Amino acid sequence: MDDDELQKLHVVFFPFMAYGHMIPTLDIARLFAARGVKTTIITTPVSLPIVTQAIEKAIKHGSPAIYTEIFSFPSAENGLPDGCETVNQAIKYYMIPKFMQAVEMLNTPLEQYLEKTRPHCLVSDMFLPWTTDCAAKFNVPRLVFHGTSYFALCAEEIVRVYKPYKNVSNDEETFILPSLPHEVKMTKSQFSEDFMKEELNESKKEFELIKESEIKSYGVIVNSFYELERDYADFFSKELGRRAWHIGPVSLCNRSIEDKAKRGILEASKDEHECLKWLNSKKTNSVIYICFGSMAQINASQMLEIAMGLEASQHDFIWVVKNDRQSEEELLPQGFEQRMEGKGLIIRGWVPQLLLLEHEAIGALLTHCGWNSILEGISTGLPMVTWPACTEQFYNEKLVTEILKIGVPVGAKKWNVVPYNVDYLVRRNAIEKAIREVMEGDEAQERRNRAMKLKEMALKAVEVDGSSYNDLGVLINELRHNKLKVV
């Protein structure tokens, strides 16, 4: 390593071992590197080849080098199968608690690395709350990456502090989240049952640890842009007293076609040229894109309702089907693919989502309301059908449907840690209705117009002198100033 590298501001990134967290973290690391910061990503042996591949592709298109640091993952010590080093794999084996125990054991190699390297900042995922204390031992500021919206962060904190759900008598009665800039109503059914309990169970304990570590940290990095959530960016800093920097949408660092096609850490399961050829045969805004994220496990009963709803809507579609526990062929209704040939494209596994969403034939996105997918939809100017299941997804739905007014809810009402449980099916008529509402008529066009304006704002935000570009510059300059003070 030459002297120039040794003199640089050094920021280390420690993502949570889940594809939906690793991908935006890689994008954030690229943004820092592009501004002259030495960046290092902590990874584990199983993820190393795909992280390295993503970095090499970025370098090929002009991005500066990004370093990697490998931590051995304690799978065997925690009763996990060999090579089980991501939460996506742990879900397949029903071993999330053991996986989280293994993740926490990474505090020892992290402390050893920080002591040896003494970086100037650690950016780590919200699901690694213990990293705040690890970093503090060596006077390294820790920035938290939540991977969600300002709105969700604000709403989550209001619910935690005021507990408005205590004022209702049943799971379906609505209550207002107090103090927020907009009137937001929710129900107890949209929250985890563990969260509603009075006693301090494991879920509540983990949530409190995350919040405590955030409060003690240097601040928060938010994958959003000011124009999208102006009221909630201000509320988060002024009313809740959190330091935060908005630097998104970070996916827009992927500028070339190959970047977008190969974005992330997995190879697409279907050739992008095949997908684009199919889309090229379709009219503008005529196709709805359906994806439930990288961890969804959808049972056969719900798959049937989705399939029948799609067929009844009579709209062309791309449906990304992912299920690690059962054959997709067993889950799809018999004869459905044959009937939909030419009208629907079913993709199994990973897809070049960013590239597909930009295609002019895509007219809307049906999403589980994960923040990565929502931001990608906003960045490509798409209205949405919202289908939340758990975590902060019900908050994100409120932002999309009631505040931004670019979405139509499908009618999901029940929080469930294993999404799409057979006891809480969304029926085919509701799916058909939501698809028609987002694709047809004057109101659909008004949503599309609003979505296109947000797309323009998103693109401006990441350009030179845009709000996100400038906020990242403010953060980097502050870290450089702190580095000089320490030296």
Could you give the CA distance from residue 241 to residue 235 in angstroms, rounded to a whole number?
Answer: 8
Q: What is the pLDDT of residue 421?
A: 56
The reported pTM is 0.91
pLDDT at 257: 46
Statement: residue 418 has pLDDT above 60 = no
DSSP secondary structure of 104-150? HTTHHHHHHHHHHH--SEEEEETT-TTHHHHHHTTT--EEEE--S-H
Starting at the edge strand that comes first in sequence, how are the strands of the sheet with 121-125 ordered? 67-70, 38-43, 10-14, 121-125, 142-145, 219-222, 244-246
State whether 295 and 383 are in the same domain: yes
Q: Which run of H or of E encompasses 386?
A: strand 384-386
**d(C-alpha 374, C-alpha 476), whole Å:** 27
Query: Average pLDDT in the 363-368 region?
Result: 96
> Nearest CA to 364 among 444, 459, 303, 263?
444
Any domain includes 347: yes
Region 453-474 average pLDDT = 97
Q: Are strands 316-321 and 67-70 parallel, antiparallel or unpaired?
A: unpaired
| Tally of CB atoms within 10 A around 289 | 28
Are both 46 and 137 inside the same structural domain?
yes
Residue 261 one-letter amino acid: A
Q: Which of 369, 368, 354, 367 is nearest to 152 (CA)?
A: 369
Averaged pLDDT for residues 360-368: 97
- Specify the range with the lowest mean pLDDT, choosing from 114-118, 225-229, 255-259, 340-344: 255-259
At residue 247, what is the residue type? I
Is 441 contained in some domain? Answer: yes
pLDDT value at 415 more than 70: yes
Q: Would 355 be classed as within a structural domain?
A: yes
Residue that wins the pLDDT comparison between 110 and 58: 110
Instruction: Check pLDDT > 60 for residue 127.
Output: yes
Evaluate whether residue 371 is within a structural domain.
Answer: yes
Q: Is 133 a catalytic residue?
A: no
Report d(CA 250, CA 32) in Å as an integer.
11
- What span, in angstroms and rounded, lies between the C-alpha atoms of 67 and 194? 40
Nearest CA among 100, 67, 99 for reference residue 83? 99
On whether residue 124 sits in a domain, the answer given is yes
Instruction: In whole angstroms, give the CA distance from residue 457 to residue 117.
Output: 39
Same domain, 349 and 433: yes
Q: How many domains does the chain have?
A: 2
Q: For residue 115, which amino acid is it? A: E
- Of 233-237, 334-338, 374-378, 451-455, least confident by mean pLDDT is 334-338
Query: What pLDDT was estimated at residue 343?
Result: 94
Q: List the one residue out of 200, 99, 203, 208 whose CA is nearest residue 157.
A: 208
Please say whether the beta carbons of 354 and 263 come within 8 A.
yes
Secondary structure class of 318 (helix, strand, coil): strand
Same domain, 305 and 394: yes
- pLDDT number for residue 333: 82
Q: Do 332 and 241 belong to one domain?
A: no
Domain shared by 324 and 219, yes or no: no
User: Could you list the residue range(s) of the whole structural domain that residue 17 is in?
Assistant: 3-151+198-251+461-486
Compute the distance between CA of residue 8 and CA of residue 11 in angstroms, rounded to an integer. 9
* Reported confidence tier of residue 266, pLDDT bands at 50, 70, 90: very low
Between residues 196 and 419, the one the model is more confident about:
196
Task: Give the CB-side neighbour count of residue 473, counting CA atoms within 13 A.
Answer: 10
What's 240's domain CATH number? Answer: 3.40.50.2000
Residues 77, 20, single domain; the answer is yes
CB 100 within 8 A of CB 130: no
Structure tokens at 313: 């809507």
DSSP letters spanning 433-457: HHHHHHHSSHHHHHHHHHHHHHHHH
Residue 1's pLDDT is: 46
**In which element (H, E) is residue 53 found?**
helix 48-60
CA distance 401 to 441: 17
Q: How many Cβ atoms from other residues are within 10 Å of residue 207's Cβ?
A: 17
- Please tell me the predicted confidence (pLDDT) of residue 50: 82
Nearest by Cα to 223 from 357, 123, 104: 123
Average predicted confidence (pLDDT) for the chain = 89
Residue 271 pLDDT grade (very low, low, confident, very high; cuts 50, 70, 90): low
Lowest mean pLDDT among 64-73, 253-262, 291-300, 319-328: 253-262
Q: Are residues 291 and 237 in the same domain?
A: no
Higher per-residue pLDDT: 263 or 401: 401
* pLDDT at residue 58, rounded to an integer: 79
User: What confidence tier does 274 reach under pLDDT thresholds 50, 70, 90?
Assistant: confident
Are 144 and 291 in the same domain?
no
Q: What is the pLDDT of residue 63?
A: 81
Task: Assess whether 288 and 231 both reside in one domain.
Answer: no
- Judge whether 161 lies within some domain: no
Burial of 304 (0-12, 13-18, 19+ CB in 10 A): middle
Let me know whether 287 and 329 are in one domain.
yes
How many percent of the chain have pLDDT more than 70? Answer: 91
Position 265 confidence tier, pLDDT thresholds 50, 70, 90: very low
Highest mean pLDDT out of 165-174, 183-192, 216-225: 216-225
Known active-site residue 21: yes
Tell which wins on pLDDT, 310 or 419: 310
Tokens of 188: 């107890």
Q: Please determine, for residue 328, whether its predicted confidence score (pLDDT) is greater than 70.
A: no
Instruction: Please report whether residue 122 resides in a domain.
Output: yes
The pLDDT value given to residue 253: 86
Q: Does residue 184 lie within any of the structural domains?
A: no
For residue 112, give both structure tokens.
């050893």
Catalytic residue, from 10, 27, 120, 125: name it: 125
Report whether 247 contacts 21 (CB < 8 A).
Answer: no
Residues 336 and 443 in one domain: yes
Name the pairing type of β-strands 142-145 and 10-14: unpaired
